[in-house]
Structure 1
């Protein structure tokens, strides 16, 4: 068992591990579902943050949420994509963490989620913290232990 707290000089900050907001695909509250589906498809992500014009975090949108919202009784009603808004179907309860919170909380959340949205104290979107980044750092850390 590895204890991150037991090693000297190891006080990781969440901000050191995030993909910054300007590099993260996102949509805005007023966007329609057609635009959101396009961004999701082009980016290749399973879910993306929903922000307002000031970059405050409001939720996540995903392809399954969009698809569910346009399912009719007998067919998928694609024509509804341009009429429905992101805020009508987005997930509001999302995995998120503040940039100044304990690193261990991020570890706990990443067990169940592929990424966390990171926000500042006022709710402004800072970026995402991914399980992939965490695993890469853990691999580097373990590699350094082998050479000690």
Structure 2
């Protein structure tokens, strides 16, 4: 009898891990990817930061439409320098997470701590973040503001 309960418990734990393993971590994964993306964007402020440097960093966190947009924006900003604020930190407060196999949608608020010419500024905005999983790694596919 004890063996049956023990094996049932192990089965339930393994099933839970494989079926829902990422779902509770998707918010954390999203926040980490957003911060890595922000770090890549912060590096644009360095004069010797090249397109290939940016590509290597950004392609480790972004994919699909977002990757294309980021690469186009990087090229534009390198050709047309403008004032840009540095992301010091950010916090993602997920409000809703939907996960299906290798895709996830996170809706929530991002609190950005920005550093500009006039000091530090806190900006809060709501976003929908689409994630896609390839070869065991998650990537941001879309990052859209929500009104």
TM (normalized to structure 2)?
Answer: 0.32
Structure number with higher strand proportion: 2
Q: Indicate the structure (1 or 2) with the bigger Cα radius of gyration.
A: 2
Of structures 1 and 2, the one scoring higher in RCO (CA 8 A, sep 6+) is 1
TM (normalized to structure 1)?
Answer: 0.32
